[in-house]
């Protein structure tokens, strides 16, 4: 007998996956059918729900989250955790990147990044009282305490209104005029395990992340797409592929919009073993002739590159496109213009500065994060940045910005602190790095896909060009531009930051210049 909610029309394979997850949750003491919760128990379990784009993974995840919330399960966001309670049961919904987490949040699912769960903030005790009250775990701070902290009742009301709307403690405190350094003393590696974990975009998990998550969550459910590209260090294999057959639940049926989806049609056509690159391009041309959501493009649109990078296979192509973009905008060789896109390439800090590394990563500056340059910071080597997809996106941090040049081994570095977050230009990115992200409009550089086709390489038994094309195409939310020539259209307007949200305070990671 199916336990699926009567208000949702699930396909047969979705219903089977729902029942499997419900059974695992019941074994762990949470009955989402009856809405009852018992103390944590049962043996640890890991299961996966896998399917290609459009198979309904996100719909299933969202409805499981709603059922758990209705049963009284608390959501762990990663930005604040109150006092431990013996009877407390929790759910954390995770994604590997800020962008992937923001895609879920845009659909009403309160997701956070894996980094924000692995590392937890340490609050100043006085501000922790305010955080507990905002989260419904404590009493409203008394006026005398607020006076000592330089806050007013009106400011506290503003913070509460923000939290009720956005469910973000740092955001609420920032709306009260506080900086992160006022209320967060540092970050620490999580020591205590959590409870239930849902992980979206699980194809991006590497072995170390998977082991960390199994250590933290007794009940872990992975949602992933087996047709995507595996992490580069795992020989084409994804972590969920090694689970026992009984723990893997596959969604076969593809759910399309009422007016059909030509982008998904193209993506799923790649499953045909006999399909050649030339035949696939003819399919794209035919789709473009009848539907504006697919574009057969004779050149790259530079206007789109500022917020939606061109997706390529080869690094040499990426570097040439970035240089063409900067030249088209008249960017100087020795500086960045406000509005230029960047990609975080990791944190360049010695091991002894572990705390500073955690601080930067917790603010969203993890490898692969998309960032928009806003301008220089107040200190040498600092940059003001907007982290795309982050809940508190604006910050100022010590930066090492590298501009790669064609046929040059060493990049040019216009800005460099002694240590901090490293960045590459983001006007074009490799398809591997684009996984987990989505943009309304996506440009795919077809000559690179053709180069992969001519190379004849395979990954896990599938032609590499098909995996690359599948991942690139499914990054498009509403419009796919298949770029067939190495040409660049001139920009229609100068670079700007006027399109970025202006709300919230800018967090300054001042300590990054020390040491």
pLDDT of residue 4: 65
47 forms beta bridges with 221
Domain 12-119+189-251 has CATH 1.10.510.10: no
Q: How far apart are CA 343 and CA 429, in angstroms?
A: 8
Q: Is 398 exposed, middle or buried (CB count within 10 Å of its CB: 0-12, 13-18, 19+)?
A: buried
Query: Count of residues for the chain?
Result: 515
Segments of the chain scoring below 70 in pLDDT? 1-8, 81-87, 179-181, 232-236, 253-259, 350-355, 503-515
Which tokens belong to 20? 């499997």
Supply φ then ψ for residue 191, to 5 degrees: -105, -40
Three-state SS at 363: coil
Asked whether the beta carbons of 362 and 184 are under 8 A apart, the reply is: no
CA 253 to chain centroid: 25
- In angstroms, the Cα distances linking 288 to 299, 466, 515 are 15, 19, 56
Q: Return the closest-CA partner of residue 236 out of 459, 469, 477, 480.
A: 459
Q: How far apart are CA 60 and CA 204, in angstroms?
A: 19
Which tokens belong to 315? 């690094």
The C-alpha torsion from 262 through 267 and 271 to 274, rounded to 10°, is 70
Please list, residue by residue across 449-484, b when 16 or more beta carbons sit within 10 angstroms of its beta carbon and e when fewer do. bbbbbeeeeebeebbbbbbbbbbbbbbbeebbbbbb
Element (H, E) at 49: strand 45-51
Residues carrying CATH 3.40.50.300, the chain: 12-119+189-251
pLDDT digits (tens, 9 = 90+) for 299-312: 999 999 999 999 99
Residue ranges with strand state E in 368-487: 370-376, 382-387, 394-403, 412-416, 420-425, 428-430, 439-445, 458-459, 462-463, 476-483
Q: How far apart are CA 221 and CA 217, in angstroms?
A: 9
Which tokens belong to 148? 């000592």
Q: How far apart are CA 51 and CA 32, in angstroms?
A: 23
């Amino acid at each position: 007998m199916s336990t699926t909610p009567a208000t949702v029309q699930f396909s047969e394979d979705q219903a089977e996956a729902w029942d499997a997850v419900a059974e695992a949750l019941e074994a762990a003491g949470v009955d989402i059918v009856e809405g009852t919760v018992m103390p944590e128990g049962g043996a640890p379990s890991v299961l996966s729900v896998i399917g290609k784009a459009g198979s309904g993974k996100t719909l299933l995840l969202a409805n499981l989250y709603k059922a758990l919330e209705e049963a009284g399960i608390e959501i762990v966001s990663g930005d604040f955790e109150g006092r431990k309670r013996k009877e407390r049961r929790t759910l954390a919904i995770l994604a590997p990147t800020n962008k992937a987490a923001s895609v879920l949040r845009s659909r009403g699912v309160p997701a956070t990044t894996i980094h924000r769960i692995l590392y937890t903030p340490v609050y100043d005790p006085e501000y922790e009282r305010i955080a507990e009250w905002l989260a419904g775990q404590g009493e409203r701070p008394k006026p005398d305490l607020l006076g000592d902290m330089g806050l007013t009742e009106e400011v506290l009301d503003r913070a509460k209104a923000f939290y009720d709307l956005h469910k973000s403690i740092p955001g609420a405190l920032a709306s009260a005029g506080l900086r992160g350094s006022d209320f967060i003393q540092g970050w620490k590696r999580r020591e205590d395990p959590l409870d239930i974990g849902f992980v979206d975009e699980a194809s991006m998990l590497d072995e170390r992340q998977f082991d960390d998550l199994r250590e933290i969550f007794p009940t872990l459910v992975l949602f992933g797409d087996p047709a995507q590209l595996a992490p580069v260090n795992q020989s084409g294999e994804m972590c969920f592929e090694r689970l026992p057959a009984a723990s893997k639940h596959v969604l076969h049926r593809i759910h399309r919009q009422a007016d059909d989806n030509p982008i998904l049609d193209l993506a799923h056509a790649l499953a045909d073993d006999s399909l050649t690159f030339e035949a696939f391009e003819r399919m794209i041309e035919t789709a473009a002739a009848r539907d504006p959501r697919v574009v057969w493009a004779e050149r790259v649109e530079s206007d789109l590159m500022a917020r939606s990078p061109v997706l390529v296979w080869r690094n040499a192509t990426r570097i040439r496109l970035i240089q063409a973009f900067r030249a088209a905008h008249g960017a100087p060789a020795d500086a960045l213009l406000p509005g230029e896109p960047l990609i975080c390439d990791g944190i360049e800090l010695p091991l002894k500065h572990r705390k500073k590394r955690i601080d930067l990563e917790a603010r969203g500056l993890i490898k692969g994060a998309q960032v928009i340059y806003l301008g220089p910071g107040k200190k040498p080597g600092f940059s003001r940045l907007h982290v795309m997809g982050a809940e508190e996106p604006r910050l100022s941090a010590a930066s090492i910005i590298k501009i790669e040049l064609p046929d040059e081994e060493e990049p040019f570095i216009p800005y460099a602190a002694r240590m901090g977050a490293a960045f590459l230009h983001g006007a074009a990115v490799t398809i591997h790095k684009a996984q987990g992200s989505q943009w309304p409009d996506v440009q795919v550089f077809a000559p690179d896909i053709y180069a992969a086709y001519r190379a004849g390489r395979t990954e896990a038994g599938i032609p590499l060009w098909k995996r690359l094309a599948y991942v690139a195409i499914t990054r498009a939310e509403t419009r796919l531009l298949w770029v067939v020539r190495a040409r660049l259209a001139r920009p229609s307007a100068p670079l700007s930051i006027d399109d970025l949200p202006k709300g919230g305070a800018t967090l300054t990671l001042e300590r990054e210049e020390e040491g």
